[in-house]
Amino acid sequence: MLQQLVNAISLGAVYALIALGYTMVYGVLRLINFAHGEVFMVGAFVGLAALSVFHLPFAAAVLVAMLGAALLGMVIERGAYRPLRNAPRLAALITAIGVSLLLQNIGMLTVGAAPNPYPPAIEPTPIPWLKEHARLVVTEQQLVILAATAAILIGLSLIVSRTKIGKAMRAVSEDRQAAQLMGINTDRVISFTFCLGSAIAGAGGVFYGVYYGTADPLMGFMPGIKAFVAAVLGGIGSIPGAMLGALLMGLVETGVSSVTIPLSSTETLSGSTLRDAVAFTVLILVLLVRPAGLLGRPTREKV
Amino acid sequence: MSTPPAWSHYLPRLGLYAGVAAVLLLVNVGLPRLLNAYLLQILVFAACNIILASSLNLVNGVAGQFSIGHAGFMAIGAYMSAWVSVAYGKTWLAPYADQPCGPLVVSAYLMGLMLLGGVAAAVGGLVVGLPSLRLRGDYLAIATLGFGEIIKVVLLNVEAVGGATGLKGVPQYSTLFLVFGAAVVTVAALRNIGNSIHGRALLAIREDETAAEALGIDSAHYKTSAFVIGAFFAGVAGCLYAHYTQFIHPRSFDFMKSIELVLIVVLGGGKLRNVAIAAAAVTFLPEGLRQVKDLLHLQTDPRMVIYAAILIAVMLLRRERVLQAVLPRRKEGASRG
């Protein structure tokens, strides 16, 4: 049980890193950035190159991946979303899906569709003390990833709550027009938001690759969608909500995967095959029961 | 006043029906002699896409309910009808195989299956249509995406329809006559729905739901009905598709397929005629792009990259034209409270 909890938190941490980008971009632009999962994927590959081609240490590889992803996020915003800033929102949504497809397929073209082995960076050997005394398999790798995630999340909270640009971000997500009238350069703030969200997703990509030992061009799709579900669950636009939602998603998924449902005397239905369906069922239920999410503010339709 | 018009009043219309039927028969007999199996299959896919896209146009274009899970309805229709054929249909129809009336019996049977697949998908449409009453804009889009993925995962896990290995051995009952006939009937029916009071009500809801309700339009009823009707035709297309390719797999109906359909509707700009043209173009384009690989001597196929690039370019360069009819004129960002 406790073991499942450890796995759930590890999974939830990766989802949180992706979900934050979704929620921040949605906050400032009211746009579901469908390409965010692919930014995560590109981050993983940049990290892979840094680790296995340039033999950089783990921390440096994470930083390089964050930089690469941030750059990509900025380019996507500048090239694909900015021209549609005043277009109907669905136009931007369709473009975002196009960018997602483009990145996936460029990935397939350059590195191929087969999974690439990912160097473990830190050997996943269980910590002996915990294994002997609590029969828990917790690896040093898991601990490093969790610590790094926590550091990133705290850093992000500080940037958003304490810095000038963070204040500007909050202002823009409150009301873009009003923020602009107050002399905030909204284009710069939006660009910065993409940078920040993408950098975090890039770090998530490296952690995911290291944790699961593989990377492929389609790896971003499902985690991306699930992180989005997490962001909606927590209340999209809310940063603590995204973290909470991601943790809950990790718990639900790990819980469902560990259950085996007996269908008949011979057949059983393993929960792990239904994992993806459960994620979406959670999403639809949340949207129906509490559309604003757990920590989101309910919006009222103006007539 | 109430005297029925003379029979000659119906003559032009009857002539039109007869003409369409004659052309379809000619196509049915002639095309297989002219084209190879590959080209025929692309034509059938184009016809299926026309049915799917024009039905999605009712939901996305006319009613303005952004759905990106339309392939899920197609999957329901395809699996429902294919399962009936594999489990029962083959044995029912076996005695007719060598008789002269055989093709007619098979066609009648397939039409029944089209109805069955359509109704099954329509039930799915009802299930999705109900949440649409509470959701709008991109939340609705995400919910429909989730619905499509749930169907895929469920089908991957049901062993009775092949599960992850797909459903093999579906008999090839779809004929060109039925496929193109269904496309013509679908486009005609959807055009009539679009021009009817029903269609006007949907248009009104798309433009401004609150104002439409103030005018007495029962928006819940109309929005749900758009989903149900759209899903029905998608189920019909799924049935025709399954009985042509003879093999279906849950991954044939994934998110990519739904996006392809949305792309067609957006390219068509909400006008049924343009949607049909776009459906054909989008079906042929990736096939044409296959040639690029051979021309440039590439190892891997670049067609999907080009496809995605075209999608982005179209949105950036021609969105005013393209989106004219699909999206409400009112800026959505301006109306958040």
One-character DSSP codes across B169-206: -------HHHHHHHHHHHHHHHHHHHHSHHHHHHHHHH
pLDDT higher than threshold 70 for residue A239: yes
Structure tokens at A83: 């021209």
Tell me which chain A residues have a C-beta less than 8 angstroms from the C-beta of B333.
Answer: 30, 89
pLDDT at B330: 46
* Cβ partners under 8 Å of residue A130, min gap 6: A136, A137, A138
Average pLDDT over residues A278-302: 74
pLDDT at B117: 93
Residues facing residue A269 across a β-bridge? A261
pLDDT higher than threshold 90 for residue A72: yes
pLDDT higher than threshold 70 for residue A271: no
Residues facing residue A214 across a β-bridge? A117
pLDDT at B333: 43
Q: Does B289 touch chain A (CB under 8 A)?
A: no
Under an 8 A CB cutoff, do A284 and B131 touch? yes
State the smallest CA–CA distance between residue A146 and chain B in angstroms: 29
Integer Cα distance of B70 and B129 in angstroms: 12
State the smallest CA–CA distance between residue B83 and chain A in angstroms: 21
Q: Is position B11 within any domain?
A: no
Tell me which chain B residues have a C-beta less than 8 angstroms from the C-beta of A104.
Answer: 304, 308
Structural domain range at position B28:
17-253
Half-sphere exposure of B115 (CA within 13 A, CB side): 5
User: For residues B101 and A181, which has the higher predicted lDDT (pLDDT)?
Assistant: A181
Residue A301 — very low, low, confident or very high, per pLDDT cuts 50/70/90? low
pLDDT higher than threshold 60 for residue A213: yes
* Cβ partners under 8 Å of residue B293, min gap 6: B300, B301, B302, B303
Tell me which chain B residues have a C-beta less than 8 angstroms from the C-beta of A94.
Answer: 262-263, 266, 311, 315
State the smallest CA–CA distance between residue A91 and chain B in angstroms: 7
Residue A76 — very low, low, confident or very high, per pLDDT cuts 50/70/90? very high
Q: Is position B12 within any domain?
A: no
Residues 184-223 of B with CB under 8 A from A: 210
Tell me which chain B residues have a C-beta less than 8 angstroms from the C-beta of A88.
Answer: 323, 327-328, 331-332
Under an 8 A CB cutoff, do B138 and A93 touch? yes
pLDDT at B77: 94
**Tens-digit pLDDT string for chain B (337 aa):** 567 777 777 888 888 888 888 888 888 777 777 878 888 888 899 999 999 999 999 998 888 888 888 999 999 999 999 999 888 888 887 777 777 777 788 888 889 999 999 999 999 999 888 877 777 777 788 888 888 888 988 888 887 887 788 888 888 888 888 899 999 999 999 999 989 999 999 989 888 888 998 999 998 899 999 999 999 999 999 999 999 998 999 888 988 888 889 888 888 877 888 888 889 888 888 787 777 767 776 666 677 787 788 888 878 876 655 555 455 444 444 433 3
- Provide the 10 A C-beta neighbour count for residue B171: 17
Residue of B nearest to A97 (CA): B259
Compute the Cα dihedral for B157, B158, B163, B167 and give only its sign.
negative
Under an 8 A CB cutoff, do B315 and A84 touch? yes
* Cβ partners under 8 Å of residue A214, min gap 6: A115, A116, A117, A118
Rounded to a whole number, what is the distance in angstroms from the first to the last CA of chain B?
53
State the smallest CA–CA distance between residue B116 and chain A in angstroms: 26
The H-assigned helical ranges of A163-270 are 164-174, 176-181, 186-212, 221-234, 239-257
State the smallest CA–CA distance between residue B329 and chain A in angstroms: 8
Q: Is position B280 within any domain?
A: no
Q: Is position B73 within any domain?
A: yes
ipTM over 0.85: no
Q: Is position B69 within any domain?
A: yes
Q: Is position B307 within any domain?
A: no
Q: Is position B133 within any domain?
A: yes
Mean pLDDT of chain A: 85
Facing B319 at nearest CB: one of A30, A91, A288: A91
Count of structural domains within chain B: 1
pLDDT at A68: 95
Q: Is position B329 within any domain?
A: no
pLDDT higher than threshold 60 for residue A115: yes
Which of B70, B139, B150 would best serve as a mutation to test chain A binding (most A beta carbons within 10 A)? B150
- Provide the 10 A C-beta neighbour count for residue A93: 23
User: For residues A180 and B310, which has the higher predicted lDDT (pLDDT)?
Assistant: A180
In one-letter notation, the amino acid at residue B205 is: I
pLDDT at B336: 37
pLDDT at B320: 59
The tokens 């792009």 sit on which residue?
Answer: B289
Nearest to A200 by CA among A24, A56, A49: A24
pLDDT higher than threshold 50 for residue A172: yes
Q: Does B96 touch chain A (CB under 8 A)?
A: no
State the smallest CA–CA distance between residue B217 and chain A in angstroms: 16
pLDDT higher than threshold 90 for residue A194: yes
pLDDT at B334: 40
